[in-house]
C-alpha cells in the first residue's frame, strides 16, 4: 500500500495566491482497477491556467496540473511498469490514473527524448511546446520576412514562440518584464526586446517595428496587447493564447482598436492547445527535432521539493521564472 502527498486547494484565490490558499495532506493510494495505472511524480508543472481554472473547482479538491512521472503499478498494457508518462493527475506525489476518464489532456507514455531531460515532457516537449507550435503556426501562419511580436516572451510558451518564428524566417520582437529576461531573449535570437515595466511600450514598438506588426502572439492581454494591436499592419494576425495580466486581478479597462480590425482587415483568434490533441505528437516531434538540431533552445526554472509547489506557483505568477517553471520531486 502506497501513501501519497497532495496539495489541496484550501481557500479560494483572491488576487495573488498566497501560501494559505494551499494545504498539504497525506493519504493512502487506492488499489488499481482494470485499465488504471499508478504514477510516481518526478516533475510537476506549475502553470498560469491553474490560477483561473481552480475558480471553477470546489475548495477541498486536489490542485489540478500535469506531471511527468514513472509508472510504478499498472493494469493497462499501454502504460507498462517502469515507463515514463505525462499525466494530468494534479499536485500529487503518487496517483492512480484511468486514461478512459480523459477526453482531452489524455495521459501518454513519453516518446524517446533522445537523452534530453524528462522534465521537458512537462514543458518544451509537451503542452507548452505544442501551444507555441500550433498556436503560432496554425493561427498566425507567419511568413518569411514578416514581423512577429510575442508578449510574455521570456516565459515557457513565449520563448518557444519567438524562436519558432525565427526558424520560419521572421523578425521577432519580444515583450517581457525584466532586463535579465530581455537580455536572454536577445541571446537566443530575438531581434529586439521591450521591457513592459520600464519602457514606453508604444514608443519602443514603433521604433522596433516602424512598418508595423504582421503577427502578434498574445500571452498577456491588457494594456500591452491593446498597444500592439494598435500597431498591426494590413492583414495582421493575432493569436490569443492567454491573458495573464488579468488572472490575479480585475481586467484593466483597455480599448481594443476596433476600427483597425476593419480598416486593416485584421484577424484575431483565441485557442486552446487541446484543439490539436489529434496532432499532439507532430508538435512534440518537430520541437524535439529543432532542439536536437540546435535551432530551438529551452530553459527551465526548477524548484526542488514537492513541499515547495505553492511557492513555485506563486513565484511563476509574479514573473520569477525564465522559461518553463517546474517542480522536481
Ligand atoms: N491557450 C492555451 O492552450 C494555453 C495558454 N497558455 C497561456 O500562455 C501564457 C503563458 O503561459 P506559460 O508560458 O506557461 O507561463 P510563463 O512561463 O510565461 O509564466 C508566466 C509569466 O507571465 C508573466 N506575467 C505575470 N504577470 C504579468 C502581467 N501582469 N503582465 C504581463 N506579464 C505577466 C511573467 O513574466 P514577466 O516577468 O515577463 O512579467 C511570468 O513569468 C499564459 O497566459 C497561459 O495562460 C498556456 C498554455 C496553453
Ligand atoms: C489550456 C490552457 C489554457 C490557458 C488559458 O492557459
pLDDT along the chain (329 residues), means of 10: 97 97 98 98 98 96 98 98 98 98 94 98 98 98 98 99 99 98 98 98 98 98 97 98 95 88 97 97 98 98 98 98 98
Specify the pLDDT at position 89. 98
Specify the pLDDT at position 115. 97
Specify the pLDDT at position 252. 83
Q: Do 127-273 and 3-123+299-328 fall under one CATH topology?
A: no
| Ligand 2 mutation target, pool 48, 103, 325, most atoms within 8 A of CB | 48
Specify the pLDDT at position 278. 95
Q: 182-198 burial, b if ≥16 CB within 10 A, otherwise e?
A: bebbeebbbbbbbbbee
Q: Which ligand is nearest to the CA of 157?
A: 1
Q: What is the ipTM of this complex?
A: 0.98
Q: Which residue's CA is the closest to the ligand 2 atom numbered 4?
A: 49
Specify the pLDDT at position 109. 98
**CATH number of the structural domain 3-123+299-328:** 3.90.180.10
3-state secondary structure string across 256-310: CCHHHHHHCCCEEEECCHHHHHHHHHHHHHHHHHHHHCCCCCCCEEEEECHHHHH
pTM: 0.98
Domain 127-273 superfamily per CATH: NAD(P)-binding Rossmann-like Domain (3.40.50.720)
Specify the pLDDT at position 286. 98
Q: Which residue's CA is the closest to the ligand 2 atom numbered 3?
A: 49
Specify the pLDDT at position 76. 98
**Rg of the chain taking only CA atoms, in angstroms:** 20
Q: Which ligand is nearest to the CA of 153?
A: 1
Specify the pLDDT at position 116. 98
For the chain, give every domain's residue range: 3-123+299-328, 127-273
Q: For residue 49, give the ligand 2 atom closest to its CA.
A: 6
Specify the pLDDT at position 250. 85
Query: What is the 50 CA–ligand 2 centroid distance (Å)?
Result: 8
Q: How far apart are the first and last CA of the chain?
A: 20
Amino acid at each position: 500500500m502506497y501513501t501519497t502527498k497532495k496539495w489541496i486547494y484550501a481557500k479560494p484565490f483572491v488576487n495573488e495566491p498566497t501560501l494559505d490558499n494551499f494545504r498539504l495532506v497525506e493519504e493512502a493510494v487506492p488499489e488499481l482497477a482494470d485499465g488504471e495505472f499508478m504514477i510516481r511524480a518526478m516533475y510537476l508543472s506549475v502553470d498560469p491556467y491553474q490560477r483561473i481554472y481552480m475558480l471553477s473547482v470546489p475548495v477541498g479538491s486536489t490542485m489540478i496540473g500535469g506531471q511527468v512521472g514513472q509508472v510504478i503499478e499498472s493494469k493497462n498494457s499501454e502504460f507498462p511498469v517502469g515507463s515514463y508518462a505525462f499525466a494530468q493527475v494534479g499536485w500529487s506525489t503518487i496517483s492512480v490514473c484511468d486514461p478512459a476518464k480523459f477526453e482531452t489532456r489524455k495521459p501518454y507514455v513519453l516518446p524517446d527524448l533522445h537523452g534530453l531531460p524528462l522534465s521537458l515532457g512537462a514543458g518544451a516537449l509537451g503542452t507548452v511546446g505544442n501551444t507555441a507550435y500550433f498556436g503560432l503556426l496554425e493561427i498566425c501562419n507567419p511568413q518569411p520576412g514578416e514581423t512577429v511580436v510575442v508578449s510574455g516572451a521570456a516565459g515557457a510558451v513565449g520563448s518557444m514562440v519567438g524562436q519558432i518564428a525565427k526558424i520560419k524566417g521572421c523578425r521577432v520582437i519580444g515583450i517581457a518584464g525584466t532586463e535579465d529576461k530581455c537580455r536572454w531573449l536577445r541571446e537566443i535570437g530575438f531581434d529586439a526586446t521591450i521591457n513592459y515595466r520600464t519602457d514606453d511600450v508604444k514608443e519602443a514598438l514603433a521604433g522596433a517595428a516602424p512598418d508595423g506588426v504582421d503577427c502578434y502572439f498574445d500571452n498577456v492581454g491588457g494594456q500591452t496587447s491593446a498597444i500592439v494591436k494598435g500597431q498591426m499592419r494590413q492583414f495582421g494576425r493575432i493569436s490569443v493564447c492567454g491573458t495573464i495580466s488579468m488572472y490575479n486581478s480585475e481586467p484593466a479597462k483597455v480599448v481594443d482598436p476596433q476600427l483597425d480590425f476593419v480598416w486593416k482587415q485584421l484577424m484575431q483568434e483565441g485557442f486552446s492547445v487541446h484543439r490539436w490533441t489529434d496532432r499532439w505528437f507532430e508538435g512534440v516531434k518537430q520541437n524535439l527535432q529543432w532542439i536536437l538540431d540546435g535551432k530551438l533552445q529551452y530553459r527551465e526554472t526548477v524548484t526542488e521539493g514537492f513541499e515547495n509547489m505553492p511557492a513555485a506557483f506563486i513565484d511563476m505568477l509574479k514573473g520569477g521564472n525564465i522559461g518553463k517553471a517546474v517542480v522536481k520531486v
